[in-house]
Amino acid sequence: MTDATVNADATAFAGTGEAIIKVENMDKFFGDFQALKNINMNVGHKEVVVVIGPSGSGKSTLIRCINRLEQHDAGRIVVDGIELSDDIRNIQEIRKETGMVFQSFNLFPHLSIIDNITLAPRQVRRMPKAEAEELAMELLTRVKIPEQAQKFPGQLSGGQQQRVAIARALAMRPKVILFDEPTSALDPEMIKEVLDTMKDLANEGMTMICVTHEMGFAREVADRVVFMADGEVVEVGTPDHFFDNPQEARTRLFLSQIL
């Protein structure tokens, strides 16, 4: 292992125009354990970044810091021109612009599918009910399950639930969507329907950061692949570079284990 693996720079971004997310020298500790070490990363407008790495490498923590589900301990995070601080209004503003899709869906089990989707637009954006419902139906059509609108999350399959979760994130019309291992809790036959939905989103120009183990998805959709291990960004590159010509020993080891 070479010392060149420490803290690769992920600041050069693809996409169009400005960087929408900037992470500078960011550290994160859980107690004494340093989960993220001096992360530098930018994400461009309309860019799709896929973050991969072994479990415990800090991938999820990284994206959870971006919308303040975890609080970073040092460095700066700027989302759409707003720096993340302790000010709750800043945090709310950033969360409005960043949707999130979780591994375990986290749909609200006491609300119907349509209410799951309309809740945040109505509460946060003060959207009138009729308009929110129209939007929700449009999004459900987009994720191909409009007929499930009146059901409850418990009545849907895992794949359908995750597609509702994506629709719920889209309902806030966010500028970025963070995906935290969206297919890891799904049965194999349902992974495809969720990945297809994500691919459609990417093709429509949504800015996305995806933590995932789906290498096929990374290869096909990503503009950039970020490989993390032990709380550090080890290697960054285009999918071609990353899968065909990895430079770092740890990347090669990881790829040899999973491919």
Partner 1 sequence: MTDPLITATGDGVPLVVEPNTPPSKKLPPGEWVKANLFSNWYNSLVTLVMAVILIYLARFLIGWAIGVEWQITRTNLRNFMVGGFPADELWRPWAASLLIIAGASLGFGAMSRAEHETDVRNGIPSTKPTQLDLFRRFWPIVLLSIFFVSFARTTPPFIGVAVGIVGLFALREVGWRLPAVIRDRGVFVFAAFLLAGFGCLAGTGGLLAIVAGIIVAVLVSTELGRAGITTRAVVIAGPIAAGLVTYFVLSAIGLEGFGWDDWGGFHITIFATAVGIATGLPFGILLAIGRRSNLPVIKTACVIFIEFVRGVPLITLLLFSSFMLPLFFPAGSDTRSGLTRAMILITAFSAAYFAEIVRGGLQSVPKGQTEAAQASGMSPGAIQRLIVMPQALRNVIPAMVGQAIALFKDTSLLAIIGIADFFQYGEISNTQQDFLGKGLQPVTYTFIALGYWAVAYWMSRESRRLEMKLRVGVR
Q: Which residues contact partner 1 by CB under 8 A? A: 67-69, 92, 95-96, 98-100, 102, 104, 106-110, 112, 119-120, 123-124, 126, 128-129, 150-155, 165, 168-169, 172, 178
Among 233, 210, 163, 162, CA closest to 47: 210
The residue among 12 and 30 lying less far from partner 1, judged by its C-beta, is 30
Q: Closest distance between partner 1 and the C-beta of residue 218, in Å?
A: 23
Which DSSP symbol is given to 181?
A: S
Minimum CB separation of residue 96 from partner 1 in Å reads 4
Query: Which residue, 155 or 203, is less far from partner 1 as judged by CB?
Result: 155
Nearest approach, Cβ of 1 to partner 1 (angstroms)? 35
Q: Specify the residue, 5 or 197, whose C-beta has the smaller distance to partner 1.
A: 197
* CA–CA dist 143, 68 (Å, integer): 27
Question: How near is the Cβ of 63 to partner 1 at its closest, in Å?
Answer: 10
d(CA 226, CA 65): 16
Location of structure tokens 């994160």: 28
How many Å apart are CA 61 and CA 112, to the nearest integer? 30
Judged by beta carbon, residue 141 or residue 155, the one nearer partner 1 is: 155
Q: At what angle do helices 129-142 and 113-124 cross, to 10 degrees?
A: 130
Give dist(CA 134, CA 138) in Å, integer.
Answer: 6
Closest separation in Å from C-beta 84 to partner 1: 13
